[in-house]
Amino acid sequence: MTENRREVPFAPSIGDRTDGVYASGIRAGRLDPVTLASNFADLHPPFDDHEARVEADRCYFCFDAPCMQACPTRIDIPLFIRQIATGNPIGSARTIFEQNILGGMCARVCPVETLCEEACVRETAEGKPVQIGRLQRHATDAAFALESHPFERAAPTGKRAAVVGAGPAGLSCAHRLAVLGHAVTLFEARDKSGGLNEYGIAAYKTPDDFAQREVAFVLSIGGIELKAGCRLGRDVTLSDLRRDFDAVFLGLGLGAVAALGLEGEELEGVVDAVRWIAELRQTRDLSTMPVGRRVVVVGGGMTAIDAAVQSRLLGAEDVTMVYRRGPERMNASLYEQNLAQTRGVRIRHHARPVRALGGDRLRAVEFARTTERDGHLVDTGETFELEADMLMKATGQSFEVDRDADEPLMEQGRIRVDADRRTDLADVWAGGDCVSGGQDLTVVAVEDGKIAARSIHRHLQGA
């Protein structure tokens, strides 16, 4: 059976791409540039000075601050808020950067609603937490406006470290090692640094090229040589790095979306959500970014949310997320789920994709209804179809790595590390999304890089 789709007003299409890459129905220019600019404007506009001080005054400055305990990087939140309240945002930024050098990005993308703000005493007492994330952004933005680095490097140690991957984990590790006086070479496979922050986060969360401005800020400490377009396994091997450097950190991230294993998955219109988001992030003129008229996104995490919301903001008429389990099992927070729904995205639960239907081009997706029995997901025997000209796969990413003679032990498809983020190779550390047991959050990756850098520093000192 085929479900009818509710008609939603949308701007008419103004043309297809002419290079033959996109199927009929997947078009650019569904909305005019003015509307697109409005749709992709800053999700949370920054506080002005007065608003920041008023909000900071709401903080109780708890001695045993639960917000600080909930922060993966252990930022002294009561202190930085007190510094804002007393008119010292630059001092506040330094407090933040001491624990999280990517505090500017984390202020924009951290799921604060399930971390520091959920733990806020005001949230417990009133259901309205102090807006910690926006206050953190206010402080870090003030520091960026100065265009100077808040820290200085220690005297050179003569030791050299290789950091592979210029994403949140790699940048955090490289910066901390540079501050401690070590010479760092940062290897990045892509043309731009930033990793997930540059290629994988919704554009409306990081407008105005913020990811690159933050990278420039991190590198301005000095002592970090960046080698972009240099891929581990293709241009350099782990064996080479272990030979040429005193220590190696792997912050490789995740790159590949898992295949759905569907019949018809090769049809035109079936796309990898991660790659689509990366293309959108690198598109300066959003009126040239193609999107389907009827979009189905399979998955329940942040990638699925970001793909679905941005499809809608680009002018897709009808966007539906479909997740195999219930809302309580989705990796995306309740806040993000609500954000998607307020942007016009429908979320369907308890269904898994079975087939992509069409000739050469996608026209619909068949789903099987699911339920949980004794903790296991099973089909109910019912199926339904959703019309679609674009199916986005967002069902979790896998770790891509070229095989190497020197390879750290793997665990469930990711690198196994100890509490210091050290691998089974004595001179190799790893962190971020590529390690087992990670939470796939920017802030957690930053903490991994920081922990690894401290461990590397002790190793290089002979401790």
- With contact defined as beta carbons under 8 Å apart, do 423 and 456 qualify? no
pLDDT of residue 372 exceeding 50: yes
Higher pLDDT, 3 or 332: 332
Q: How confident is the model at residue 436 (pLDDT cuts 50, 70, 90)?
A: confident
Question: CB within 8 A of 171, min separation 6: which ones?
Answer: 101, 102, 186, 193, 194, 195, 215, 218, 251, 449
H runs (alpha helix) in 110-257: 116-119, 121-126, 132-146, 168-179, 196-199, 210-219, 238-244
**Domain boundaries, given as residue ranges, for the chain:** 26-30+257-397, 49-146, 160-255+399-460
Q: Which tens digits make up the pLDDT trace of 40-87?
A: 999 888 999 999 999 999 999 999 999 999 999 999 999 999 999 999
Which residues partner with 22 through β-bridges?
none
Q: How confident is the model at residue 402 (pLDDT cuts 50, 70, 90)?
A: low
> Packing angle between helix 302-313 and helix 334-342, nearest 10 degrees?
20
Residue 147: CB atoms within 10 A of its CB come to 10
* Alpha carbon of residue 5 to chain centroid: 31
Q: How far apart are CA 123 and CA 126, in angstroms?
A: 5
Q: How far apart are CA 456 and CA 171, in angstroms?
A: 15
Largest CA distance in the chain: 71
pLDDT of residue 391 exceeding 70: yes
Structure tokens at 388: 């679609």
Residue carrying structure tokens 């490789």:
252
Domain 26-30+257-397 shares a fold with domain 49-146: no
Poorest-confidence range of 169-173, 410-414, 440-444?
Answer: 410-414
Q: Tell me, what's the pLDDT at 27? A: 94
Q: How far apart are CA 181 and CA 183, in angstroms?
A: 7
- Strands 362-373, 376-387: parallel, antiparallel or unpaired by DSSP? antiparallel
Q: How far apart are CA 336 and CA 445, in angstroms?
A: 20
- With contact defined as beta carbons under 8 Å apart, do 343 and 309 qualify? yes
* Alpha carbon of residue 67 to chain centroid: 22
pLDDT of residue 12 exceeding 60: no
Fold (CATH) for 26-30+257-397 = FAD/NAD(P)-binding domain (3.50.50)
Q: Tell me, what's the pLDDT at 21? A: 40
Q: Tell me, what's the pLDDT at 403? A: 56
Sign of CA dihedral 163, 174, 101, 449: positive
Higher pLDDT, 132 or 408: 132
Mean pLDDT of the chain: 91
Q: Tell me, what's the pLDDT at 386? A: 98
Q: How far apart are CA 347 and CA 345, in angstroms?
A: 6
Residue 370: CB atoms within 10 A of its CB come to 19
Reported residue count of the chain is 463
Average pLDDT score over residue span 399-409: 68
Sign of CA dihedral 419, 422, 424, 430: positive
Q: How far apart are CA 177 and CA 459, in angstroms?
A: 12
Residue carrying structure tokens 């598109």:
283
pLDDT of residue 346 exceeding 70: yes
* Alpha carbon of residue 88 to chain centroid: 30
Q: Tell me, what's the pLDDT at 439? A: 77
Which residues partner with 368 through β-bridges?
352, 383
The phi and psi torsions of 73 (rounded to 5 degrees) equal -95, 0
Q: Which tens digits make up the pLDDT trace of 131-181?
A: 999 999 999 999 999 988 999 999 999 999 999 999 999 999 999 999 999
Residue carrying structure tokens 């369907």:
348
pLDDT of residue 257 exceeding 90: no
pLDDT of residue 14 exceeding 60: no
Fold (CATH) for 160-255+399-460 = FAD/NAD(P)-binding domain (3.50.50)
Q: What single-letter DSSP state applies at residue 232?
A: B
Residue type, 387: E
Residue type, 379: D
| Residue 252 Cα distances to 51, 185, 313, 432, angstroms | 39, 15, 30, 8
Q: How far apart are CA 116 and CA 129, in angstroms?
A: 9
* DSSP-assigned states of every residue in 356-407: EEESSBEEEEEEEEEEEETTEEEEEEEEEEEE-SEEEE-S-EE------SS-
pLDDT of residue 6 exceeding 90: no
Q: How far apart are CA 187 and CA 250, in angstroms?
A: 10
Higher pLDDT, 403 or 260: 260
Residue carrying structure tokens 């990796």:
331
Q: Tell me, what's the pLDDT at 20? A: 36
Q: Calculate what percentage of the chain has a pLDDT beyond 70.
A: 92
Q: How confident is the model at residue 458 (pLDDT cuts 50, 70, 90)?
A: very high
Q: How far apart are CA 93 and CA 217, in angstroms?
A: 13
Q: How far apart are CA 267 and CA 358, in angstroms?
A: 7
Superfamily for domain range 49-146: Alpha-helical ferredoxin (1.10.1060.10)
Residue 228: CB atoms within 10 A of its CB come to 13
pLDDT of residue 18 exceeding 60: no
Residue type, 358: G
pTM, entire model: 0.91
